[in-house]
């Protein structure tokens, strides 16, 4: 089964995760939200492996740009169109490997997730 990394290419965290995967000889494909798209179908697939609140990047500029009302009313339904419009609201990277997902990048977590 293939490993897929989702994110945007100019993100420093993406670059660190890609380097780690390459250094550990873990083949992967990269899905660029901006180039390859992010739609309801892909978001539904991501929701199968991670909850919307795990995916939400509260440290992003996009999140800080939301109104207080938007932030207070966020739930699985209201965040969906925001994720599609502003993919940077999603923590990076999201990596799907053998049907499981890991969100963000941390060396120890990756070592455990990939059993390296």
Q: Which residues are catalytic?
A: 11
Closest to 60 (Cα-Cα) out of 33, 96, 42, 40: 33
Q: Which residues pair with 94 in a beta bridge?
A: 6, 103
Rounded Cα–Cα distance for residues 78 and 28 (Å): 31
């Amino acid at each position: 089964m293939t490993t897929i990394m989702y994110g945007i290419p100019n993100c420093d965290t993406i670059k660190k995760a890609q380097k780690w995967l390459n250094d550990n000889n873990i083949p992967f494909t990269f899905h660029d939200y901006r180039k390859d798209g992010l739609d309801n179908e892909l978001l539904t697939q991501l929701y199968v492996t991670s909850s919307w609140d795990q995916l939400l990047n509260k440290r992003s500029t996009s999140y800080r740009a939301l109104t207080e009302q938007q932030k207070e009313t966020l739930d699985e339904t209201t965040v969906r169109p925001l994720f599609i419009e502003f993919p940077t609201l999603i923590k990076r990277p999201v990596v799907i490997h053998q049907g499981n997902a890991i969100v963000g990048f941390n060396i120890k977590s990756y070592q455990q997730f990939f059993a390296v």
